[in-house]
Every structure is written in C-alpha cells, then in structure tokens.
C-alpha cells in the first residue's frame, strides 16, 4: 500500500508550492525520524512550462519505495511567469524542506534526513540564440 501526503514547502506571493510525499505506509512516514533514512527528491519534466508534482510516473514511485526510500515529488514555478533563477531557487528550497523540515512535519520529530537523492525527468532542451 502506498501512502501519499501533500505539504506546502514554500509560498511566493500567493502561490503555494507543494510536495507530495510517498511512503510505503503511514508507519514508514512515522519512522522518518530514524537514522539512515533516504529520500528521493523528484523534479517533474515538462520543459519548464507544463506538468507538476503529480506527473510522477508509477514506476518511479514503486522503484523508490522498493528500495525503502521516501519519494518527494516537488512543484516549481514555471515559465513564462517565472524564470530560470526562480526554478533554481525553488529546487534549493524543496531540497532544504526535505532535508530539514520533512521529518518534523510528517513525523513530529526534529531529526534531519541525512541522505537526499535528487532525480527527475527531462525539463526540456536547451535553446541557443544565433547572432
């Protein structure tokens, strides 16, 4: 059984940026305060203009949970309303949230998650300007 919970990791103006936290069960979520927990922070694809945290594919969820990892799928601001630096800042803030605040919010402990893996799908190709 997969358990999913949603949490706000950052608010920019009135926009709430959220993460979905996937665990094997509510018991795994409660055990986040144990040492040696590994979390995978997943960043969705979509060319920086589409999709969101909910577009994580089932095989990614299952692969992480089979390894005993907690999967955290994060939203980030999209173009054209945001720019590249905004997306980078959002990823840094999502990482900070996973490492330093997730255990407190999910399990009620002040422990940190010592192992965070950053992974994701393609956000698109780079574009070059020709002069």
Q: Provide φ and ψ at 73, rounded to 5°.
A: -100, 125
Q: What is the pLDDT of residues 17-29, one digit of tens each?
A: 999 999 998 777 7
Amino acid 70: pLDDT: 94
110 versus 123: which is more confidently predicted? 110
* Alpha carbons within 13 A on the beta-carbon side of 111: 18
Decide: pTM greater than 0.85. Answer: yes
- pLDDT, one tens digit per residue, over 73-102 is 999 999 999 999 999 999 999 999 999 999
Token pair of 96 as six digits = 């900070």
CATH superfamily to which 3-114 belongs: Alpha/Beta hydrolase fold, catalytic domain (3.40.50.1820)
What's the whole-number average pLDDT of the chain?
89
50 pLDDT above the threshold of 90: yes
């Amino acid at each position: 059984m997969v358990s999913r919970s949603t949490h706000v990791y950052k608010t920019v103006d009135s926009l709430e940026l959220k993460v979905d936290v996937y665990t094997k069960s509510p018991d795994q979520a409660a055990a986040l305060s144990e040492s040696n927990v590994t979390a995978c922070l997943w960043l969705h694809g979509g060319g920086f203009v589409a999709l969101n945290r909910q577009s994580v594919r089932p095989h990614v969820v299952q692969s992480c949970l089979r390894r005993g990892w907690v999967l955290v799928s994060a939203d980030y601001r999209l173009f054209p309303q945001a720019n590249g630096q905004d997306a980078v800042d959002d990823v840094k803030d999502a990482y900070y949230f996973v490492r330093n605040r997730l255990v407190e919010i999910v399990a009620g402990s002040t422990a940190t998650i010592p192992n965070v893996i950053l992974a994701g799908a393609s956000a698109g190709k780079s574009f070059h300007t020709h002069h």
